[in-house]
Amino acid sequence: MTAKTVLITGAAGGIGRATVTLFAQKGWRVIGVDRSDFGDGFPQDGLFIRADISRGEAMEAIFARVNEFTVTLEALVNNAALQIAKPLIETTVEEWDAVMASNLRSVFLGVKLAHPLLKRNGGAIVNVSSVHAIQTSANIAAYAASKGGLLALTRAMAIEFAPDNIRVNAILPGAVDTPMLRAGLNRGHVSGGDVQERLENLARKTVSGKVGKPEEIAHAIYFLADNEQSSFMTGQALVVDGGATARLSTE
């Protein structure tokens, strides 16, 4: 049986790296894209492309290489994201545009370019949104807006791509121990001393009493990407947040 192929953006980050590892363990060929170097450990039968997906010309170059590597994609995981943590009135136009280019426009462009490869065998698109798309906090407006837009885009794509046998779903992670989360803890919504203390305080605020692991999100992504496990799901938003959004803020 021919191995399935997945393209994962933001492959060198916390969730991305865990997702690369899981798909490889499941026997998939992995194409990874990130603006940072992956370092050691990328699957030997895969392809890693270092590029900035917020740039339109970079997306064209990425898919030129992808089309040389494979004639089909069974899954596309849009995971790359940029988070700017600052008050909205202090956010510059350039910062706003950078967030939208990385988190939303890149998905629009990537899906257009990936569509012919996904259509061949009927594939799946998994958009990594965030709980900030439905419930958010102060000083993260641009990020929240981009992730909310990604939810709307997910539904629109699910409708348009259904005739092509392409499923489109979103996953909404809550607090997950990644470099992005640790950097974001500095914006002051969680009290405490150093980053580790702030992580522990954040965990105590979550129903499950813990912060998520990248591997836990990777398994949820794989579930949505695998046509054997989630074949009747499209246009949906799967929240994986340890119960954070289940609790009233007044409690």
Burial-class residue 43 by CB neighbours within 10 Å (0-12, 13-18, 19+). middle
Rounded CA-CA distance 204/208 in Å is 8
Active-site pick, 28, 143, 161, 222: 143
Rounded CA-CA distance 146/153 in Å is 10
The per-residue pLDDT for 193 is 62
How does pLDDT run along the chain (251 residues), one tens digit per residue? Answer: 689 999 999 999 999 999 999 999 999 999 999 999 999 999 999 999 999 999 999 999 999 999 999 999 999 999 999 999 999 999 999 999 999 999 999 999 999 999 999 999 999 999 999 999 999 999 999 999 999 999 999 999 999 999 999 999 999 998 887 767 666 666 555 555 677 777 777 667 788 888 889 999 999 999 999 999 999 999 999 999 999 899 888 87
Structure tokens given for 48: 């890693």
Q: 10 Cβ partners below 8 Å, 6+ apart? A: 16, 33, 34, 79, 80, 81, 128
| Closest to 178 measured CA to CA, from 49, 80, 105 | 80
Q: Can you say how many angstroms the Cα of residue 90 is from the centroid of all Cα atoms in its chain? A: 26
Q: Domain residue spans in the chain?
A: 5-175+213-243
Q: Is there a catalytic annotation at residue 222?
A: no
The per-residue pLDDT for 2 is 82
The per-residue pLDDT for 187 is 56
The per-residue pLDDT for 206 is 85
Give, in words, the CATH class of 5-175+213-243: alpha beta
